[in-house]
Amino acid sequence: MFNLQRFVHLRQNHQKSFAVLIDPDKASPDHLAKLVPLATEAGAMCFFIGGSLLSTQQLESTLASMAALSDLPLILFPGSVQQVSAQADAILFLSLISGRNPEFLIGSQVIAAPAVRAAGIEAIPTGYMLIDGGAPTTASYISNTQPLPGNKPDIAACTALAGEMLGLRLLYLDTGSGAPHGVSTAIIRAVKNTSNLPLVVGGGIRNAEAALLAWKAGADVVVVGNALEEDPDFAAALGMACQKANASNTLSVG
């Protein structure tokens, strides 16, 4: 199944899942050897790999190590045009629709498109929305964009709808890696009620309760990076929380 279809399938079937974000700068071989099998075992749907600012040249070696440790899809989550690799299965082909910086709306995509085609990987057209999570993040600083206000669900909903009308296929709401707060449930709910696209939510999710709140508000996929960098064993708790979310969903849907 193509990777986009896996996200669509979750949304259509009211199922929840999670993705693990790997920042190649922080991914030592020892860390990967611990986290990747734990996340796979815990039921993660895929790995996202990338970062707003990569200061080492470890993307290729990280992908190679991960492919040897897990059969889960490796999906690039690029912070720049350099983060394209044929070793990945797919790339979130992001347009930063919360911002007004043309480089991240279309400029970088023009430069990266031939590299993605040459790599032969699936491009998943993704409306990426940075939401204010209580402090500036590397993502907002590097992209030179202002995040959407954290308390304006209506702006988030209209932005998501515009992204859908422009033909994007996936929405990603993100307060940015390490943000003090995650995306508010009001924003998740507003976007979910407005758009039919699969909904990915990340940034600042540090425990199972926060993940459950995001799923309950409407996230189809929750992304966790920092919390698993600090404690790979959190993967098991996240997997159990996801099973719980799916069980209660089945009850409410059925």
213 in contact with ligand 1GP (CB under 6 A) = no
The contact mask relative to ligand 1GP for 13-52 (x = CB under 6 A, - = no) is --------x-------------------------------
Please say which residue, 85 or 177, places its beta carbon nearer to ligand 1GP: 177
Strand partners, 17: 221
Q: Report how far residue 229's alpha carbon sits from residue 232's, in angstroms, rounded to the nearest whole number.
A: 6
In whole angstroms, the minimum distance from the beta carbon of 178 to ligand 1GP comes to: 5
37, 43, 125, 178: which one binds ligand 1GP (CB under 6 A):
178
The set of residues, in sequence order, having a beta carbon less than 8 Å from that of 41 and lying 6+ positions away, is: 235, 236, 239
225 in contact with ligand 1GP (CB under 6 A) = yes
199, 224, 241, 245: which one binds ligand 1GP (CB under 6 A):
224
Please say which residue, 226 or 249, places its beta carbon nearer to ligand 1GP: 226
With b for 16 or more beta-carbon neighbours within 10 A and e for fewer, the 197-223 pattern comes to: bbbbbbbbbbebebbbbbbbbbbbbbb
In whole angstroms, the minimum distance from the beta carbon of 152 to ligand 1GP comes to: 20
Q: Report how far apart, in Å, the C-alpha atoms of 30 and of each of 35, 187, 241 are.
A: 9, 37, 26
Question: Closest-CB residue for ligand 1GP?
Answer: 202
187 in contact with ligand 1GP (CB under 6 A) = no
Please say which residue, 226 or 254, places its beta carbon nearer to ligand 1GP: 226
87, 101, 226, 248: which one binds ligand 1GP (CB under 6 A):
226
204, 218, 232, 239: which one binds ligand 1GP (CB under 6 A):
204
In whole angstroms, the minimum distance from the beta carbon of 182 to ligand 1GP comes to: 8
Interface residue list for ligand 1GP (CB under 6 A): 21, 174, 176-179, 202-205, 223-227
